[in-house]
């Protein structure tokens, strides 16, 4: 049975201590449930609601912390890249390069990520259909890099709101790549006031719903104290509640796999 992929960590790398705290909680849980755990953290937040919002502690410092903590716990790491130059820099530190949703149509970025030889996680833009993701994946695969994930993170629904069309999870699975559901960003309220809002109370029920569609993994941002997080404080899942969520995800994934046999 293929291991369920778990991509989790804080939204942005605030400190090495934060990464260690998250990894020290999640690594034992991933081992317990036999999940393929990847530690995530953005080294830089290039897309912020306000010009005054926190963007990072320094690119190389943040990437260095992510690499160090990943090696410390023996887990893969992932970060966002926003330009060809970011790809060149970040690929020296992480195992997976993530294409942010707003940039998932950028041909030069996708090709550069593919040419890095790293796994490439493409987030579906809020304005794209699931069918468009096959074209995005083709841009990466033409570099002879077939290690691609496709991630659903919600679709624009009027102003300042997102909706998840679970048909997209089924459609994207037909393209032959692992499909991931982003359980936190898909519940954002973009650009509410000076920062994005969200509906964290729906993270667990939507994560449960996504797993039974047959997806390969879950993306979820977590923080010891979400209210104090320097980015996406409204939708990060509390670290102490992750065990309960992952226990349910594990049971649903096992049940769903049994139906395929």
Record the tokens describing residue 183, joined without a space. 């359980």
Q: What is the model's pLDDT at position 233?
A: 86
Q: What is the model's pLDDT at position 167?
A: 97
Q: What is the model's pLDDT at position 228?
A: 92
Alpha carbon of 71 to those of 32, 154, 219: distances in Å? 19, 32, 20
CA distance 222 to 162: 20
* pTM of the shown model: 0.94
Q: What is the model's pLDDT at position 182?
A: 98
CA distance 90 to 81: 7
How many other β-carbons are positioned within 10 Å of the β-carbon of residue 122? 27
Show the low-confidence residues of the chain (pLDDT under 50): 48
CA distance 34 to 146: 24
CA distance 68 to 94: 10
pLDDT, tens only, 138-180: 999 999 999 999 999 999 888 888 999 999 999 999 999 999 9
Domains and CATH numbers, the chain: 5-260 (3.20.20.70)
Q: What is the model's pLDDT at position 23?
A: 98
Pairing of strands 119-123, 148-152: parallel
Strand runs (DSSP E) across the chain, as ranges? 5-9, 36-40, 76-80, 96-99, 119-123, 148-152, 155-156, 162-163, 179-182, 188-189, 197-198, 217-223, 237-238
Q: What is the model's pLDDT at position 47?
A: 63
Alpha carbon of 184 to those of 63, 201, 220, 226, 255: distances in Å? 22, 10, 6, 12, 23
Record the tokens describing residue 12, joined without a space. 């942005």
Buried b (16+ CB within 10 A) or exposed e, 71-105: eebebbbbbbbbeeebbebbbebbbbbbbbbebbb
Q: What is the model's pLDDT at position 192?
A: 67
């Amino acid at each position: 049975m293929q291991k369920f992929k778990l991509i989790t960590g804080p939204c942005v790398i605030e400190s090495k201590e934060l990464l260690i705290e998250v990894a020290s909680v999640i690594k034992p849980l991933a081992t317990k449930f036999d999940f393929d755990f990847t530690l995530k953290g953005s080294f830089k937040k290039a897309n912020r609601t306000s010009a005054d919002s926190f963007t990072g502690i320094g690119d190389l410092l943040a990437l260095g912390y992510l690499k160090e903590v990943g090696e410390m716990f023996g887990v893969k790491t992932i970060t966002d890249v926003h330009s060809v130059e970011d790809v060149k820099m970040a690929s020296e530190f992480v195992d997976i390069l993530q294409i942010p949703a707003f940039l998932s149509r950028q041909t030069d970025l996708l090709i550069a990520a593919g040419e890095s030889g790293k796994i490439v996680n493409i987030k579906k833009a809020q304005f794209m259909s699931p069918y468009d993701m096959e074209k995005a994946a083709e841009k990466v695969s033409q570099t002879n890099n077939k290690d691609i994930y496709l991630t659903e993170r919600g679709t624009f629904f009027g102003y300042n709101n997102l909706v998840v069309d679970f048909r997209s999870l089924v459609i994207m699975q037909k393209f032959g790549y692992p499909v991931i559901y982003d359980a936190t960003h898909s519940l954002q309220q973009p650009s509410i006031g000076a920062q994005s809002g969200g509906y964290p109370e729906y993270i667990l029920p939507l994560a449960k719903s996504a797993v039974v569609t047959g997806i390969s993994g879950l993306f979820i941002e977590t923080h010891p104290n979400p209210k104090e997080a320097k980015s996406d404080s409204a939708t990060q899942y509390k670290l102490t509640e992750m065990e309960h969520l992952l226990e349910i995800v594990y049971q649903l994934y096992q049940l769903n796999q049994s139906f395929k046999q």
